[in-house]
Amino acid sequence: QVQLVEAGGGLVRPGGSLRLSCTVSIASQSFFRDYAMAWYRQGPGNQREWVATITAGGMTYYANSVKGRFTNSRDNAKNTVYLQMNSLNAEDTAVYYCNAPPGTDYYSWGQGTQVTVSS
C-alpha cells in the first residue's frame, strides 16, 4: 500500500511563500520516478480541485489560478515532490494534498497539510 505524507503548511501573510512536500513512503524509487504526481487542494466549503501536475519526465502543468505563482518539482532519490508557493493570497487557503494525476487511479488520500493565508 502506498502512503502519502504531506507537510510544510502553516500560517502565512498575504504575499508570503511556503514550500510543501509530499513524501511517498512505501513506493520504491524505481516506481516513483516512472510516474507523474499531482497536487490538489480543498478550501473551506469547496470541492477538492486540481492544482498542479509533474510528469515522470519533469514536465509541469498548473491550474490557471496558480500559474506563475506555484512551482512543482520532485526529488526522486527522496521519493518526494514539492510545491513552492509564492505570492500567496486568501484564495489559496486550503488543505493541500498530493496524489496521482487526474485520469489515473488514485492512491489512498493522505491527511493533507493546512495552508492558511491571513493578515
Q: Is the pLDDT of residue 26 over 80?
A: no
Q: What is the pLDDT of residues 45-104, one digit of tens each?
A: 999 999 999 999 999 999 999 999 999 999 998 999 999 999 999 999 999 999 999 999
Determine the Cα–Cα distance for residues 61 and 39; give it in Å rounded to an integer.
Answer: 10
Q: What is the pLDDT of residues 13-23, one digit of tens each?
A: 999 999 999 99
Q: Using CA atoms in the order 45, 48, 50, 55, what is the torsion angle rounded to 10 degrees?
A: 150
SS3 31: helix
Q: Is the pLDDT of residue 29 over 80?
A: no
